[in-house]
Structure 1
Amino acid sequence: MIRRSNIKYLVLVLLAIYILHWSFTGTNLKVSWSEQPEPLESHKNLKLDTKIEQKEVTVPDNTRQIGKANACFVVLIRNSDLHEFRNTMRQLEDRFNHKYNYPYVFLNDVPFTEEFKKLTSALTKSKTEYDMGILNEKLEEMRKNEVIYGDSPGVHFYCDIDFDPFAYVRDHDIKYAFTISMYEYQNTIPTLWDTVKEFIKQYPQYIEKDNLMDFLSDDNGETYNLCHFWSNFEIGDLNFWRSETYLKFFDFLDKKGGFFYERWGDAPVHSIAAALFLKKHQIHFFNEIGYRHDNFMHCPKDDKLQLKCHCDPNENFDFDGYSCTGR
């Protein structure tokens, strides 16, 4: 059973897409590191054939913390996905985690098999913990509802990550980070935006003045353009999800019943909350992280980054008409 801890950041490397909300309590982990990795130079001079802007956030040196962040990987998975995930985990370890040894928390709706525990723990020197969640019923629900790729959990990491994203978000006051964004299906959230507008009207004090409403709406909030950050890969500050603002927002949505009577997913809910309640610089696009889940891939086009990757930049979803990243 996962025990309570002070874990602050988590990355969802393998997500069942439809997990709505849960209280993550983590495991009591003590980790340390000898030096602070510097951010990539590519943050300063990205050369992308797109309107995407990558701006480095300047933080005074005296605010930087030394060592690894208090973070973990959260993986939602079934026992039957073991061998497919071993490939993903091998890539994650080879590309990044063998240098930093962040722990893994595996969630399932049934007890993990001894084979699953043995083979996954053998792939890493990091601590691994296994707990029961709500995955299978959600995967089956998505399969029946024909949610695209909803029952397919495999992901790939294509680029060497030679800096620590967890430490980077910590040191640059970033609360939410992503690699892929896209449009949501309107028929899954027909009343979500009307509910959001009700919340804004009732609780204007929670809306950040320096927000990203322009990412969500083309008419200053009158309608929702359906853009959201794809939560199959996301790095989030748990203090934000536990904040008074987010909990007030989630409770407001929950009482409207859309999680049950419609199909409001975690991705648009997380995205709307981040865009409305955080400052612009607190949301970050990790161009350096080459990532794929089924047909959706972020592959950096920058020549220097391509030297560290093995993906085809011509297949980069960022430039697809269904992507919102250009916004």
Structure 2
Amino acid sequence: MQICKVFLTHFRKILLGSLLLCLIAQTCWVAFVHHQRQLKLDSYFLERSRVATSKYDFVRKRESNQKLKLSSNTYSDWLLDEPRETTLSRENATLLMLVRNWELPEALRSMRSLEDRFNKDFHYDWTFLNDVPFDENFIEATTAMASGKTQYALIPAEDWDRSSWINETLFEETLKMMEEKNVLYGSSKSYRNMCRFNSGFFFRQKILDQYDYYFRVEPDVTYFCDFPYDPFKVMRLNNKKYGFVITMYEYEDTIPTLWEAVEEYLEETESQDVDMETNGFEFISNFDFFGKSFGVVDSNSDYNLCHFWTNFEIGDLNFFRSEKYIKFFEYLDSKGGFYYERWGDAPVHSIAVSLLLKKDEVIHFDELGYKHMPFGTCPSAHYLRLQERCLCDSNHPDNIDLNVISCLRRWWKDGSGKYFLKHNS
């Protein structure tokens, strides 16, 4: 009897163990079958996806465009087949250069580059400004280089020299202090005259009264690509008032109290000329992080230091001639910051544009390759570079578009956004 009980006990254990093993085997088999079916399904959809994505490879030409592309026409691979504009008409505009006689070689290099890349087809006037008379050698050489008419103007002393009310003692102390701190152009008197002139007087020159638009050209700059359109025409047709190619952070040591003056202006005028619903205020005031990398911005004010690099700018002269801009500039000028500090025309223009214009009245010309030492910008769309015969590398370290010191992504986020289609022209 005892033997039977032991036998039954072992039998039950063996039976339960066998059932457990069967259950485990069955579970493993079901999982294996499911896995095999999933692999077949994944393989099926992977093949379907490969067929779909490669079906039009013979026309899509994507093998050359593996990296992220930032420029306009990003999604067009047919640029080389598009007809070029054959009927050319000029806008009421001029190419504008503030330059010294001794900068003739640099002026000619800029002229040659812009003529070859753009103006040889349009023959826009060249306007040259100087605080001293141009010499015959300068006039002769630049006239020969230009495809359009050239004209020369002497800047009146009252538009160029510092105001008589500037405290000369304080001014000299500022020069010495900024020189000791190694502030860029911190000890230069003429540079301050230039910044103030470009901020509030260039558009008042009588020689410009006849024009609606200007294209600011600096000595010794390079234009990497053929222009795909007339930017002046793009401005007019799309109701743009200001255009740029590079935006970056300003050196705060040059403008320590500029934003304070702007806030005082807004308070005193009760922001009468400012529409916070439509303007680009967030572009110059937002400090939020974005993207995979960001610049370390050391700002002691509510201004995030983003500004348009004004050595390339295309603008509507009527905006700068407007009462609201002149009122804005004259208030800032009354603070003396152009001399007691070293306020640049770039932050002044940028803050004015961001406050006084609608953000969709500002255009980023991302199809125009350009360099002003030490930074440049190069279109990153492969076929755009081919079509426009660009001589630049979009992956070069000097290409500032996505550099940590660039504000371009800030403009995409808080300005008028990123434009992926060709501008109307």
TM-score class, shorter: 0.7 to 0.9
Alpha-carbon separation, structure 2, partners of 1:251 and 1:311: 41
Which among 252, 259, 278 is matched to residue 357 of structure 2? 278
1:26-77 Cα deviation digits (max 9, x unpaired) = xxxxxxxxxxxxxxxxxxxxx994889999xxxxxxxxxx942111011111
Alpha-carbon separation, structure 2, partners of 1:54 and 1:193: 37
Alpha-carbon separation, structure 1, partners of 2:329 and 2:378: 33
Aligned to 1:38: none
The residue type equivalent to 1:126 in the other structure is: G
Alpha-carbon separation, structure 2, partners of 1:265 and 1:85: 22
Aligned to 1:181: 247
SS class of match (2:395): helix
Aligned to 2:285: 217
Alpha-carbon separation, structure 2, partners of 1:295 and 1:48: 25
1:235-261 Cα deviation digits (max 9, x unpaired) = 111111111111111121112221221
Aligned to 2:371: 292
Aligned to 1:34: none
- Residues 104, 286 of structure 1: alpha-carbon distance in 2 compared, 3 angstrom cutoff: same
Which among 102, 105, 108 is matched to residue 124 of structure 2? 102
SS class of match (1:225): coil
Calculate the aligned-residue CA RMSD, in Å. Answer: 3.1
Q: Does the CA contact (< 8 Å) of 1:109 and 1:132 recur in 2?
A: yes
Alignment: residue pair count? 267
Aligned to 1:207: 274
- Residues 234, 195 of structure 1: alpha-carbon distance in 2 compared, 3 angstrom cutoff: same
Deviation at 1:219, TM superposition (A): 5.7
1:128-139 matches, within 5 Å, as 128-133=150-155
Q: Does the CA contact (< 8 Å) of 2:183 and 2:254 recur in 1?
A: no
- Residues 201, 224 of structure 1: alpha-carbon distance in 2 compared, 3 angstrom cutoff: same
1:189-232 Cα deviation digits (max 9, x unpaired) = 11111111122223222112201111101269x70010000100
Which among 57, 64, 69 is matched to residue 91 of structure 2? 69
The residue type equivalent to 1:191 in the other structure is: T
**Structure 1 vs Structure 2: percent identity of aligned residues?**
46
Q: Normalized per residue, which structure has more helix? A: 2
1:206-245 matches, within 5 Å, as 206-208=273-275, 209-218=277-286, 223-245=302-324
1:196 aligns with 2:262: yes
Q: Which runs of 5+ in 2 are unaligned?
A: 1-65, 75-87, 163-174, 192-217, 289-300, 411-425
1:289-324 Cα deviation digits (max 9, x unpaired) = 111001110111111221121111112111111111
Normalising to structure 2: TM-score of the pair? 0.58
Alpha-carbon separation, structure 1, partners of 2:161 and 2:331: 25
Which among 78, 81, 85 is matched to residue 100 of structure 2? 78
SS class of match (1:182): strand
Normalising to structure 1: TM-score of the pair? 0.74
Alpha-carbon separation, structure 1, partners of 2:312 and 2:132: 23
SS class of match (1:206): coil
- Residues 52, 180 of structure 1: alpha-carbon distance in 2 compared, 3 angstrom cutoff: same
Q: Which moves more between the two structures, 96-105 or 203-212?
A: 203-212
SS class of match (1:93): helix
- Residues 50, 273 of structure 1: alpha-carbon distance in 2 compared, 3 angstrom cutoff: farther
Alpha-carbon separation, structure 1, partners of 2:344 and 2:325: 15
1:297-312 matches, within 5 Å, as 297-307=376-386, 308=388, 309-312=390-393
The residue type equivalent to 1:227 in the other structure is: C
Aligned to 1:16: none
